[in-house]
Amino acid sequence: MRLTVESFDGHDINDSNVSAYIPLEGGNFNNLPSVDPIEIPRINNFPDYGGKILLSKNFMIQVDIKPGADYSTYFELLKGYFDTAVRDKKKLVVKDSDTTKEWYVMCTCVANPERSTGSIKLLMYANDPTLLGNTASTVSWSVTATGQTKVVTPVGNVKARPVFTITPTSAKTGGYAYKKFLNLKNVHTNAFSNYPYDLTDGGLDHAAMVKVAAVHVAINDGAGITDVATTIPYDGEAGTFPTAGIAWIDGATKEQISYTGKSGGNLTGVTRGINGTTAAAHANDVIIYQSNVQADGDDLRIYMDGKEVSRWSDNWNNAATKIWINIDLKPKATTTLKTAIAASGSITSIDLVVNTTTYLFLRAIGASGMVQIGTEIFTYTTLSLTTSQLTGTITRAAKQTSMGAHAVGDAVTFIEHDVWMMYGNAAADAPVQDETKKPIIDLATSTNNSWVYALFGDDANLRTGRWNRQIVSSVGKQSAVYTDNHNALVDPATEMGMSIKAYQSSGRWVGETGYLRWTLFHPAGITHVSSDGESYRNSVSWPLFASLKKGPNASLYLNQWTLTTPASISTWTAWTKNAEALGATYNYIGFVFWGSVGAVANAEADMEVGNVTLTIDSTKRPTISASAEADNYWLDLKLTNSTSGEYLTLALMMGLNRVLTIDCARKVIYYDDNTNMVSGLQLSSVRQTWLDLAPGNNTLKFDDTGTNAVTVAISWEDRNN
């Protein structure tokens, strides 16, 4: 490779009056960098190999310039171009005289121009010795079916790192057809950690999604249809009944079906009795409704920040179906707008008032993310603590919102998570999820404002919303907590039990003093507690406190009520405390059993709690709102470089004519509203790079079942050492 210098930082260096080149003896420009191996020590064994450290401190580029005109004038000009005081790296463009291809490297001048006989010498430093093609190569690829291929051909001697932009232009067959954005916000100064939350905030009309009332046909067969019919004649179409999908037959026996075609007055390719329903015979004129979701809920998915999360419901195909997940939320972050924003048009920044609140707001939120002003959501890619601005690329009307006018002083609220509900996939199986972390509260009867407990904890301490059991003290080591009725043990706990028992020492009975409790912290706070259970004693002794206590913090507890001594000895006595008003909002509550039993043979006292209902402070718990249902393009992509055998997979929701960028050079994936989508990525092997292109021909393969029309642009910079 014979290299001439074309420009530096946009300044032409080589023209008719000047000859600028890199001499073959001018450093190690075309050499691979030196490396230091990393060793990992191992006991009684040779060290293991842990990787390499690339060394670039000796990577210097010598540039020789021979002016053909006024030497002194040009020397002074070069001192301005190659200023050693400039901190940033600049672009040095070179040309290979053998191929005329231009390359560039980012470098900085480390020695002032030096006069030499008939020439001027410069010394440059570059931390990366790789030359990059000065003009990026771009190839367009029109994908019309899954499994199609495209050949791309980088030049150079080092693997290129491509950028893919993917734009679906026509709806695909199958996949998750619908989506809703879920706007989840913390309105409280407390954080919420691993917190059970109903994303529907009181109930989703899942039944109306199973049976879309406005779109339907009727069975058109005088004899009706049998329970095994795979072609169903129809008439009386209302709305536009889909050409394929799932449907609900609203006969005496309710049945969900899937079908693959609709033509000539028939639904064809019908699969009967799906998603927990039973195939049945149906009479003429029975209505068949469009279904947007599986009746058993198997296709309903929740994606948070581009990654599927576990969700739970015990009430599918109902008018008030709840969808529970576990969430983590930072404390609320809100400030105010400094500069008004018009009702339409693009903006380059969101200007915030300059004060301590804004400073803390900017420190608390992500370097890129989402904020809401009024009903409009904005995304941003950078922020500035110095100027109190959200900057970079600002996208308006994000997440299915609309543009609006925003005045000075309007609230600017941080939205931490990108949460979506997705459904409408006839082929989806039940999700694989972590049931060990299912909320411990009763999901059917609980709400975001009321937590209902019949279970209280698990031995592994993984289930969310659980109570914490504790033996604070036990003089004779005989006090105990238990989890099932009347001193039995079970996992998960069906009772919050506490027992204080006398014990024997040196052949005589000794009284026991114990302090036992079951406690709960709730970040939003609790205002009322309903509870019931049983108490027991088999002697005259009864501990001082068998109580519900409340507290503003973990160390200070105030008494709410105390059980009276059970009236009868050796009899379990039921107790109930309904809707006990705590008088304020308390974050900590606990059932406490504290005191002594006498030195009587087998003396015992027990308190157990069997059911609890907590009223949550509704002004302090997280809020949520759902967007309208929107069409979804489910990208379930496997992109393979067949030449190397490496591939990446990506599963995420999109929209038609929206753009997704997979940047293998910078290792980022983002949607056209700047949403970070990298969490959906998986690589076929453990490797540092994503999907390299080797010098020469590379055959790329696009696999996404149901694809009809997707435009893919592939760009890369050739690379050479």
Mapped onto helix, strand or coil, the DSSP state of residue 702 is strand
Lowest mean pLDDT: which of 30-39, 239-248, 277-286, 290-299? 30-39
pLDDT, one tens digit per residue, over 350-400 is 999 999 999 999 999 989 999 999 999 999 999 999 999 999 999 999 999
pLDDT on residue 26: 44
User: Using an 8 Å Cβ cutoff, are 302 and 199 in contact?
Assistant: yes
CATH class of 3-133: mainly beta
Read off the pTM: 0.87
pLDDT given at position 52: 79
User: What phi and psi, each to the nearest 5 degrees, are found at residue 718?
Assistant: -60, 150
Alpha-carbon 300 to chain mean position: 16
Name the least confident of 42-51, 96-105, 670-679.
42-51
pLDDT digit string, tens, across residues 419-457: 999 999 998 999 999 999 999 999 999 999 999 999 999
Q: Half-sphere exposure (CA, 13 Å, Cβ side) for 145? A: 2
Amino acid at the residue 345: G
Sign of CA pseudo-dihedral 149, 154, 157, 163: negative
CATH of 450-616, picked from 2.60.120, 3.30.1490, 1.10.3470, 2.60.40, is: 2.60.120
Q: H or E stretch including 703? A: strand 698-703
Q: What is the DSSP string of 59-94?
A: -EEEEEEEESS-HHHHHHHHHHHS-TT--S-EEEEE
For residues 90-118, average pLDDT = 90
Query: Which band of pLDDT confidence, cut at 50, 70 and 90, is reported for residue 127?
Result: confident
Q: Distances from the Cα of 707 to the Cαs of 140, 141, 143, in angstroms?
A: 17, 14, 8
Q: Which of 65-69, 223-227, 401-405 has the lowest mean pLDDT?
A: 65-69
What is the pLDDT at residue 29? 54
Can you give the pLDDT at residue 58?
61
Whether the pLDDT of residue 721 is over 90: the answer is: no
CA–CA gap between residue 368 and residue 348 (Å, rounded) = 14
Tokens of 170: 């026509």
Cα-to-chain-centroid distance, residue 481? 38
In 534-567, which positions are buried (b, 16+ CB within 10 angstroms) versus exposed (e)? bbbbbbebbbebbbbbbbeeeeebeebeebeebe
User: What is the model's pLDDT at position 32?
Assistant: 58
Distance of CA 459 to the CA centre of its chain: 28
Name 671's bridge partners: 660
User: Cα(74)–Cα(68) distance, rounded to whole angstroms?
Assistant: 9
Q: How far apart are CA 483 and CA 21, in angstroms?
A: 82
CATH of domain 137-174+632-720: 2.60.120.860
Q: What mean pLDDT value characterizes the chain?
A: 94
Give pLDDT, residue 49: 85
Query: Is residue 124 scored above 80 in pLDDT?
Result: yes
DSSP characters for 512-579? Answer: EEEEEEEEEEEEEEEEEEEEEEEEEESSS---SEEEEEEESSSS--EEEEEPPPPSSTT--EEEEEEE
pLDDT tier at 1, thresholds 50, 70, 90: confident
pLDDT above 60 (res 27): no
Q: Which two tokens stand for residue 112?
A: 């002032």
Q: Residue 31 — very low, low, confident or very high, per pLDDT cuts 50/70/90?
A: low
Query: What contacts 67, CB < 8 A, 6 or more positions away?
Result: 17, 18, 74, 75, 120
Phi-psi region of 305 (alpha: psi -120 to 50; beta: other; left: phi over 0): left
Mean per-residue pLDDT, 558-571:
96
Lowest-pLDDT range of 55-59, 148-152, 530-534: 55-59
Cα distances (Å, whole numbers) of residue 593 to 465, 470, 605:
22, 11, 9
Asked if residues 255 and 249 have their Cβ atoms less than 8 Å apart, the reply is: yes
Q: What per-residue confidence (pLDDT) applies to 143?
A: 98
pLDDT digits (tens, 9 = 90+) for 464-486: 999 999 999 999 999 999 999 99
Compute how many other C-beta atoms are within 10 angstroms of the C-beta atom of residue 657. 12
Residue range 279-326, pLDDT digits in tens:
999 999 999 999 999 999 999 999 999 999 999 998 999 999 999 999
Tell me the pLDDT band of 30, cut-offs 50, 70 and 90: low
Rounded Cα distance, 211 and 254, in Å: 11
- The whole-number pLDDT of residue 337 equals 98
Instruction: Determine what percent of the chain is predicted with pLDDT higher than 90.
Output: 84
Neighbours of 685 (CB within 10 A): 7
| Distance in angstroms (rounded) separating the CA atoms of residues 247 and 269 | 13
